[in-house]
Amino acid sequence: MNVILDLGHMSQVVQHDDQPQFAIVNKVGQPQIALPIIMNFRNSHVFYDDGPIMIWDSRYSCWVEPNVDE
């Protein structure tokens, strides 16, 4: 997945294996291959701190939301 991210952006290391109702692509201890579905609603946990959809920006040393082209 890192090849589709912008320069300096890196996906997280997977903390939990994907569950069978979804395609099993993310494995614990490996970089994410697929991001969770992006849901835009108030108080969504995916955008807090290092939530499952956040991307590491090595230029600024912080977690950021994926941008539109990612």
Give SS3 for 13.
Answer: strand
Query: How far is residue 43's CA from residue 7's CA, in Å, rounded to a whole number?
Result: 29
Query: How far is residue 8's CA from residue 16's CA, in Å, rounded to a whole number?
Result: 24
Q: Is 32 exposed, middle or buried (0-12, 13-18, 19+ CB in 10 A)?
A: buried
Q: What is the pLDDT of residues 18-34, one digit of tens each?
A: 667 767 787 888 887 77
Domain limits of the chain? 1-35+42-70
Q: Rounded to two decimals, what is the model's pTM?
A: 0.55
pLDDT at 52 over 60: yes
> Torsions phi, psi of 3, nearest 5?
-70, -20
Amino acid at 37: I
Greatest mean pLDDT range, 9-23, 32-46, 53-67: 53-67
